[in-house]
Amino acid sequence: MVSDIRIATSLLEGSGRPVNGSVDLYLVFDLIVGVSPANLQGLDPKRAVAVVSTGRTPTGDMVSHVDKSYPNQVAMLSAIKALVRAEHTQSVDALRVTSALFGDTATANILLLGVAFQAGAMPLSAGAIERAIELNGVAVEVNTLAFRWGRMVVANPARVRALMPGRPGWAPHADRGDHRGADTNTNADADADAKGAARRRDAVDVLIAGVTDEPHSELARLLRFRIADLIDYQDLRYAKRYVRLVDYVGKTEQRVDPKSSALCEAVAANLYKLMACKDEYEVARLHLEAAGTPEIEERFGSGAKVSWNLQPPITKRFFGDRKLRLGPWFTPIMRGLRSGKRLRGTVLDPFGRTHIRGLERLLVVEYEAAIRGVMKKLDPASMAGPSTSSAFPTWSAAMRASSLQIWSAMEKRSPRRNSHCAQWSTIR
């Protein structure tokens, strides 16, 4: 979506689109949209100021076709800077900042608005903007905080950076990340949830400390969310399996090149994609988690009812691609599915016998074996050769495709995977 907003004290007439050189503030929430020639034509390097979010928002084409990669962010940002007052350009990964501060990215645009205000690029007062947020009536508290943290990005960037490695569940609603899938209404249950979340955080910290002694590093940031999510996805034992391979890759990479962590970070990101595939149990967990968040009640009222639009594989035979709308009556079944994760991968797993679920489990095993094979032959010469960190990610990314696309994706990935394995098997 692209919007042209004009602020004036009198009635404005003319086109709804900015004419050449008429833009004062170029507020870019999505880099790919921001570098569109149609949007750049309104910029003048003597007039326009750009405030840009560098966070990656994949396009629909990237989601549907896993071969598609995200364009070079540096090149896109440079293209914008060339057409604005570059010395006044503000750029920040608003998605990453809001995820660290609030546990999700819903307020990323409001945070970027705060950046623009603090940079002096908006002819409005802070009070007027916060009043507008209040009048809008949607998540007023968290949006106001996001606006203020956006101002902090400019006023005191060191303070914001210091918070980035913090646990991703931090939010203005007390320990919002501690209420995953909360559906209880008693103090005893709430206390139990809080204690369980505390134990999970402690377990995550211990596992991260075993991999890296730098808690503020990029690797620690990657691991913090993924380990916690794999514990919720299955259990602590499952998360330890993930950590074992990442730790093995990291230590092997450090022995070869003490300054490098690129391969370890790539494995941390891509092994997670394979291990956290969206099966029936995970879909139930995520839907219940979303239904239990305070924002639902805040936005739609205390009497809001939650429905789910689902397409269980068993219904495709009768309803085709049409999704079924399942109301509140389906909640107990969703809870049962969420609890059924204990059966995942066992002989009692009712969904585990399908071909797609067997393929998902096989992919994890093959990925682990392939990575271990690479690391056994890793040496300075191979580290200096073709990018080790990109050898396997595209293969594991096949699992990001939908179930209908996995078959064709795997056909495309298998030759590439075999090619990578053959390439690394020749390393001496």
Reported as half-sphere exposure (CB side, CA atoms, 13 A), residue 256 has a value of 23
Of 270, 282, 269, residue with least CA distance to 357: 282
The residue ranges of DSSP E strands in 221-323, in sequence order, are: 308-310
- Which class for 412: exposed (0-12), middle (13-18), buried (19 or more C-beta within 10 A)? middle
Q: Mark residue 326 as left, alpha or beta (left: phi above 0; alpha: psi -120 to 50; beta: remaining).
A: beta
> In the prediction, which pLDDT does 413 show?
54
Tell me the C-alpha distance between 19 and 103, whole Å: 39
Q: Indicate the helix (H) or strand (E) that contains 415.
A: helix 403-425
The partner residues of 308 in beta bridges, in order of sequence, read 326
> In the prediction, which pLDDT does 177 show?
36
Q: Count the Cβ atoms, other than its own, within 10 Å of residue 251.
A: 12
Tell me the C-alpha distance between 387 and 362, whole Å: 25
Question: Tens-digit pLDDT profile for the chain (428 aa)?
Answer: 788 788 877 777 766 666 677 888 999 999 888 888 888 888 888 999 999 998 887 777 766 665 567 788 888 888 898 899 988 889 999 988 988 888 788 899 999 999 999 999 888 899 999 999 999 988 899 999 999 999 999 998 888 887 765 433 333 332 333 333 334 344 454 455 556 667 778 888 889 889 988 877 888 888 988 998 899 899 999 999 999 999 999 999 999 888 888 888 888 988 998 899 888 888 888 888 777 655 566 666 667 777 888 876 666 667 777 788 888 888 888 889 889 899 998 889 888 888 888 888 888 888 898 888 888 888 887 776 544 444 444 444 444 443 344 444 554 555 555 554 554 444 33
Three-class DSSP category at 369: helix
Contact assessment for residue 79 and residue 31, using Cβ atoms and an 8 Å cutoff: no
> In the prediction, which pLDDT does 181 show?
38
Structure token digits, residue 198: 């505390």
The residue ranges of DSSP E strands in 62-166, in sequence order, are: 90-92
Contact assessment for residue 15 and residue 23, using Cβ atoms and an 8 Å cutoff: no
> In the prediction, which pLDDT does 398 show?
45
Contact assessment for residue 167 and residue 200, using Cβ atoms and an 8 Å cutoff: no
- The torsion defined by the Cα of 128, 131, 136 and 139, in degrees rounded to 10, comes to 120
Tell me the C-alpha distance between 212 and 221, whole Å: 11
- The domains found in the chain, sorted by start residue, are 25-163 (3.40.920), 187-278+354-425 (no CATH), 280-343 (no CATH)
Tell me the C-alpha distance between 347 and 362, whole Å: 16
Model confidence pTM above 0.75 = no
